[in-house]
Amino acid sequence: MLKSLGRSAAAQGAAGRLLASYIRLVRATNRWTFEPADFQDRLVPHLPAIVALWHGQHLMVPAMKRDDMPARTLASRHVDGGINAIACAAFGIGAVRGSGGEGRKALKRGGARALREMLEALKAGDSMVFTADVPKVAGVAGEGVALLGKLSGRPIFPFAVATSRSKMLATWDRAEINLPFGRGAVVLGEPIHVAPDADAEALETARRAVGAGLDRAHARAYALVGRRWGRSQAGPEADTNGAPVCPPR
């Protein structure tokens, strides 16, 4: 019964709105440091862009979007994906619904369609903001983000948000729930460009660069709030070619 209730549009809507309200509370009650200080202005010449995140570290990202920067995120087809999409909509962020992994399984779960929709979104002027790591293997950048950069010609920016107070969940990605009444930090990494004629080796180089950039951004964001970035993870050098297509579950 509870499972069925969770799947209802009304329940998802209520949960999504509640999540958005909580994000606003955390945004309003933390003292924020931005690096660079004008990170939003720095993004403007590169828009639309691909903004890459790590699984489990994404909660506060919607609150960092400026109203004049149209964007969409990638939301899984699961119940939690619907809740995330509704919460993001409260911040003016649209959703591409899809999931992914490797090979035929990814195609069956909507990965190919999601890739097409992301390309269309970027072509229409909307930035894409989504997790870059492989589902169930936190901290490993997938090939998908590099492929999107190649096909769209848009730059990839590693992005990190951290707070001094948080609650870590016992999930596969060690998801963090950022808490109010502390300090927060936002770090925008350097852009990563993927050539339109990039071969498999170049895509692999870009994939690793995204992972390394995300780790650097998170290490800096955590340092700014007096914490150490050290989540147990496979790291960007792991041997994988998965696709980064699901927000945290």
Query: Comparing C-alpha atoms, which of 69, 176, 186, 83 is closest to residue 128?
Result: 69
185 found inside a domain: yes
> If you count them, how many residues does the chain have?
249
pLDDT band at 240 (very low <50, low <70, confident <90, very high): very low
238 found inside a domain: no
Domain encompassing residue 63: 2-224
235 found inside a domain: no
**Long-range CB contact pairs, 9-14, < 8 A, 24+:** 12/79, 12/82, 12/83, 12/86, 13/86
Indicate which CATH number applies to the domain containing 158. Answer: 3.40.1130
d(CA 191, CA 195): 13
Amino acid 102: pLDDT: 38
pTM over 0.85: yes
244 found inside a domain: no
Are 97 and 85 in contact, with CB atoms under 8 Å apart?
yes
Query: Looking at the predicted structure, is the pLDDT value of residue 79 above 90?
Result: no
246 found inside a domain: no
243 found inside a domain: no
239 found inside a domain: no
How many domains does the structure of the chain reveal?
A: 1
Quick one: average pLDDT of 85-111? 71
- Per-residue model confidence as pLDDT tens digits over 140-169: 999 999 999 999 999 999 999 999 999 999
